[in-house]
Structure 1
């Protein structure tokens, strides 16, 4: 992820959003198949993101200890060793990586139970280690020097994709454009590597850069041809861009080949670079303060880090539910990252929070999945209510702030202008009495049963079929 402090600055779209292109620069895809698939993908709303690699054994900040410019912060969890020694230890983690508890079928079943609709998995992070069976390098999980290579699930990416598709989930392919293990990126003939960028100017050494371009194209084509249908190509590492050391990987060439052959619908997310191949913009570890009218996906962590840390602590189920509501009401998808352990298990405390999220979605998911934005989106003026809409109905969420305060204010005021005919509480199917005037629906909450309340309530508002549905503001 974009922990890299050296990446080129990109516009900040809304207060508090890190590492994301500005929506006013968004270029919609021109291909009808991509447009249609993007519309479908936006309706999925919730994806399971996973950062996993041999480096998880060190409990490090992903690949960043290898990068000198990442500084001391990236080695915060293993200051017991010399930085140069730590780099070598990190690079050799492939020789001890043996996650014998890895069960892709269990991960996929859990994801479905928790309400996820797609998988976003790190096929390769910046360290260059491939979690798939590539023909381009031996720095991979299926190589003979990796003890896991004899396991029946050794091709981790291939087995995960098959298992998640079997559970009905879509596939988003995380792939790092920087590759700090490649001799064509951090090329030894050009001296030390200090930053996340290549350690030479591609314009001055085109023959070396061309080898890296072909290497990268081959890996992307492997991932989009060997493993069946993929829905999104999610490219991290915005430091690789034509206006930075002329690092142009000619992404259009490989994308158009893929779309012309195996994946005509392919959504591409060239993070922070902009242009026609950034079909989704991606706020990282933050949520925009207002609705965004273009396709976007926040990547957030269940705990505090994207990669596995022995000292990490997960957010509560209530926090995850509130986060999802906030993202969806503002028009986005949520890619929620959980960090697998080095042994292949998922951390139990994080799983418990995800199960709580899934339990809530089983009851209230109707107001989340396949919805569109609905003004006033997330209201700060009245009770912090959040709004979505679908099939002519409006869904209004009230988020409970603390477990011990699971109670409603005496009156709820829903900002709805069109005449409503029925309001139902999704939690228990209770039909509620209400009055409506001056663009507001007033509900006396004394009629509402609080039995079984969890995290947030969702109110379904229905209208006469002859009336125009919604408050406007659809995507």
Structure 2
């Protein structure tokens, strides 16, 4: 390690309960004075480690991934894997309260379902007040062209927008329910059909277009049937016992997806959330949250996918966590796999702390976001970065700042990101991660804040021809290198280091045969 010796280094595993199970947070760079403060958490993690490690392993065991057989889907999947970097947006009426998206409606004893405010102790009153937010939703600053241009400048190339979250409020002009944006005050605005306008703006900037759609719907009485008050996130009644009610819900879901696939222009991705709505036979009992699914909630994905692709040939269908032919790529949430994965995958991650808008966000520094992007791509994945619009219809100013900073880095270094494959041969080496093209290897050095470009970089496990050439992206000068006992040593002159100063991550392009 090259970290300052004045710092005490330890590694802790934090164990954090999450909506989809458990997440390990690996923390290093812990100052001596904070070690004791976290010791109790560490000990708890050790006690739970065997169980939770099995849980985490199961979350990332994708050995049953089903490769698509449709040539058009294969082609679209390759296109998606090449673009690497996308924007996710969670937006709905919940932004007006600055609370978690949908989950405060869910009657589960979990931290993310906590209710606050005058109706906190009255679930029925709370649900009514929450749904009445439709009557005041009026985001007059809504300008999707601004978002699309900022995202493009940051180097993003695809977008996934929430057309409907679990609360059932539709950000598009659906004919299946009045619980939609067109019935809000903003519906009278020329841009009232929000999803349509978002897709148009991003399509004009050559983005691949994705529609987020929640399979569960906590507003429609065909899912949460008022006759049986809901106990949790699942249907409030057993579908097998009330098949006519469930068939109505299936028809409702099918019709809404049909509207999106038929009426909203060219679509590339149908991103389905709410993985507890699934055939009972697909439940993986090694995953804790899936063990809580009480009954079959099959909505007939073969029929939905066939319909969707009849309007959108080659459409990628992402039925999250439901391993099989309708999970065309997998989506680890708020985490990065610890190793290269040969299948198509995407880390969905928040730029701040929350998926939904909160008045005061804690945005990750641009340096960290760039390092995350490099790490994800080096492991063969895509990064889908979430930014949440405000109730007025815009991002935090700080979010635009982050996008601009990322864009400046991408202006110089994007060839190490786009159209690359991850590294399964060299491996992560300290601050270095690697990506590959047929004729080149890219070594991405993730610099710490205030760090200067080292005078020498060493790389193991890399075989080079004597004619190989190495350069630093942002500089035209070739770099001298040597092979020292099987280790490639790259020398960086001081004048070259000054050409590309203060970078968040430096990229060395290694052309194996020139």
For 1:252 and 1:349, how far apart are their aligned partners in 2?
Answer: 42
- Could you tell me how far 1:457 is from its partner in structure 2? 0.4
Inter-CA distance 250–16: structure 2 relative to 1 (3 Å threshold): closer
How many residues matched?
452
1:360 matches 2:360 = no
Q: Which structure 2 segments of 5+ residues have no match? A: 1-16, 23-50, 281-292
1:157 matches 2:204 = no
For 2:484 and 2:456, how far apart are their aligned partners in 1?
Answer: 18
Partner residue of 2:66? 27
- Could you tell me how far 1:428 is from its partner in structure 2? 2.5
1:167 matches 2:167 = no
- Could you tell me how far 1:345 is from its partner in structure 2? 1.2
- Contact in 1 for aligned 2:472/2:506 (Cα 8 Å): yes
Partner residue of 1:212 out of 237, 241, 249:
249
- Could you tell me how far 1:254 is from its partner in structure 2? 1.6
- Could you tell me how far 1:378 is from its partner in structure 2? 4.4
3-state SS in 2 of match to 1:423: strand
1:250 matches 2:289 = no
Inter-CA distance 262–19: structure 2 relative to 1 (3 Å threshold): farther
Q: Which structure 1 segments of 5+ residues have no match? A: 466-475
For 2:55 and 2:454, how far apart are their aligned partners in 1?
Answer: 30
- Contact in 2 for aligned 1:378/1:384 (Cα 8 Å): no
Partner residue of 2:362? 313
Deviating more after overlay: 81-90 vs 169-178: 81-90
Deviating more after overlay: 51-60 vs 442-451: 442-451
For 1:431 and 1:320, how far apart are their aligned partners in 2?
Answer: 29
3-state SS in 1 of match to 2:179: coil
Partner residue of 1:287? 336
- Could you tell me how far 1:415 is from its partner in structure 2? 3.8
- Could you tell me how far 1:443 is from its partner in structure 2? 1.0
Inter-CA distance 80–431: structure 2 relative to 1 (3 Å threshold): farther
Partner residue of 1:137 out of 173, 177, 180:
177
**1:48-67 to 2 correspondences below 5 Å:** 48-67=87-106
Partner residue of 1:107? 147
For 1:263 and 1:435, how far apart are their aligned partners in 2?
Answer: 52
Inter-CA distance 18–298: structure 2 relative to 1 (3 Å threshold): farther
- Contact in 1 for aligned 2:60/2:337 (Cα 8 Å): no
Inter-CA distance 153–338: structure 2 relative to 1 (3 Å threshold): same
- Could you tell me how far 1:22 is from its partner in structure 2? 2.5
Partner residue of 1:425 out of 454, 462, 472:
472
- Contact in 1 for aligned 2:103/2:112 (Cα 8 Å): no
Partner residue of 1:405? 451
For 2:20 and 2:461, how far apart are their aligned partners in 1?
Answer: 42
3-state SS in 1 of match to 2:423: strand
Inter-CA distance 18–185: structure 2 relative to 1 (3 Å threshold): farther
Structure with the larger RCO, 1 or 2 (CA within 8 Å, 6+ apart): 1
Q: TM-score, normalised by structure 2?
A: 0.84
1:464 matches 2:513 = yes
- Contact in 2 for aligned 1:13/1:21 (Cα 8 Å): no
- Could you tell me how far 1:21 is from its partner in structure 2? 5.7
- Could you tell me how far 1:414 is from its partner in structure 2? 5.3
Inter-CA distance 138–377: structure 2 relative to 1 (3 Å threshold): farther
- Could you tell me how far 1:71 is from its partner in structure 2? 3.5
- Contact in 2 for aligned 1:374/1:394 (Cα 8 Å): no
Partner residue of 1:473? none
Inter-CA distance 267–156: structure 2 relative to 1 (3 Å threshold): same
Deviating more after overlay: 307-316 vs 325-334: 307-316
Partner residue of 1:120? 160
- Contact in 1 for aligned 2:443/2:509 (Cα 8 Å): yes
- Contact in 2 for aligned 1:17/1:286 (Cα 8 Å): no
3-state SS in 2 of match to 1:442: strand
3-state SS in 2 of match to 1:23: coil
For 1:297 and 1:425, how far apart are their aligned partners in 2?
Answer: 28
**1:331-410 to 2 correspondences below 5 Å:** 331-376=380-425, 378-379=427-428, 382-402=429-449, 404-408=450-454, 410=456
- Contact in 2 for aligned 1:15/1:289 (Cα 8 Å): no
- Contact in 1 for aligned 2:352/2:361 (Cα 8 Å): yes
- Contact in 2 for aligned 1:397/1:458 (Cα 8 Å): yes
Partner residue of 1:192? 229
Inter-CA distance 439–234: structure 2 relative to 1 (3 Å threshold): farther
3-state SS in 1 of match to 2:63: helix
For 2:425 and 2:117, how far apart are their aligned partners in 1?
Answer: 48
- Could you tell me how far 1:172 is from its partner in structure 2? 1.3
- Contact in 2 for aligned 1:50/1:340 (Cα 8 Å): yes
For 2:58 and 2:166, how far apart are their aligned partners in 1?
Answer: 17
For 1:34 and 1:363, how far apart are their aligned partners in 2?
Answer: 32
Partner residue of 2:83? 44
For 2:140 and 2:58, how far apart are their aligned partners in 1?
Answer: 35
- Could you tell me how far 1:391 is from its partner in structure 2? 3.6
3-state SS in 2 of match to 1:225: helix
